[in-house]
Amino acid sequence: MNHKPTPHSDSPIELSIARERLRQARYSFNLAIISTAVSAFISLTGAGLLLTGKANEGAVTAACGMIASVRCVELAKDANDRLDEI
């Protein structure tokens, strides 16, 4: 029995589930935006360290910032996909 709720369902449980999914998607999206801003700051710090001659520290910082940026994009895409499902 594969019951999928219709978009215009009046069931209180289904509406509650849809609201909860929407809330979680909003929080995921907001977290992704904040994380992206933080990782951009880390990347800029790494670039600054590279320019000042502290290559080892700068390379590590820039790499961490790039890894964080990739993860943030994945989080934002996941939140967007969940919104599309609703």
Residues 6+ apart with CB under 8 A from 86: 18, 21, 22, 25
The ranges assigned to domains in the chain are 12-85
pLDDT of residue 12: 85
pLDDT at 6 over 60: no
pLDDT at 84 over 80: no
* DSSP state letter for 6: -
Average pLDDT of the residues in 27-39: 80
pLDDT at 8 over 70: no
Asked whether the beta carbons of 38 and 65 are under 8 A apart, the reply is: no
pLDDT band at 7 (very low <50, low <70, confident <90, very high): low
